[in-house]
A and B are shown apart, each in its own frame.
Chain A
Amino acid sequence: EIVLTQSPATLSLSPGERATLSCTASESVSSNLGWYQHKPGQAPRLLIYDASKRATGIPARFSGSGSGTDFTLTISSLEPEDFAVYYCQQRNDWPLTFGPGTKVEIK
């Protein structure tokens, strides 16, 4: 099973600041990685797929990069609605796996 680790576990930032979230895979997943945003009581939302492609309707302030084992999700300038938990997910091999999540909280 491919294990995904995310850092930091919690990121405390203010609106307008830049957020940089990391995801590391236990083995190469090529570019087969996605990012999701999840807010309490809501369904998760796909932000990024194939490491760097924005999903439909996702604002340009969200960007993804990386390949192989190291990936980054960047939120260029945090909006109030961006405070949430973010998960990475690999589709390179079965079983599909998620990282443990990074909580982006208001400082």
Chain B
Amino acid sequence: QVQLVESGGGVVQPGGSLRLSCAASGFIFSSYGIHWVRQAPGKGLEWVTIIGYDGRDKYYGDSVKGRFTISRDNSRNTVHLQMSSLRAEDTAIYYCAKERRWREYYFDSWGQGVLVTVSS
């Protein structure tokens, strides 16, 4: 079955960097766009970014544009989220999610999430 496993979370100081990874299995990875969605403590869901099936199409939310970079390695079924210039408001659980269909932009499978804490 479809499985998405996030890793790389932790505590980082404001202004620092962190790299999250999402390892996928159970589906044809190279055929689907992958998204990151986050949830700050006590808040709702916020879409962060998407990378298309071949890595060419990328879109970012306004709150992370210019600071976060998404990439993928289809040979390793993995997506990475490079986060830099981190702020306290980036503290959240970060989920990777698979699209139901390419360019449909609904998320039918999610990982369990990884916690990122930005604090001094």
Residues of A within 8 A of B (CB): 1, 34, 36, 38, 42-46, 49, 55-56, 85, 87, 89, 91, 94-101
Contact = CB atoms under 8 A, between A and B. Distances in A.
A46 B59 CA distance: 21
A96 B105 contact: yes
Contacts of A1: 62
Interface of B: prevailing SS: strand
- Interface size bracket, B side: 20 to 34
Contacts, number: 57
Nearest to A35: B106
Interface of A: prevailing SS: loop
18 contacts: A43-B95, A43-B110, A43-B113, A44-B37, A46-B100, A46-B106, A46-B108, A49-B106, A56-B108, A87-B44, A87-B45, A91-B104, A94-B59, A95-B60, A96-B50, A98-B44, A98-B47, A100-B44
B62 A44 contact: no
Contacts of B112: 42-43
Contacts of B44: 85, 87, 98-101
Given A43-B113, A98-B45, A34 B59 contact: no
B32 interface: no
B106 A44 contact: no
B50 to A, nearest CB: 8
Interface in B83-108: 95, 97, 100, 104-108
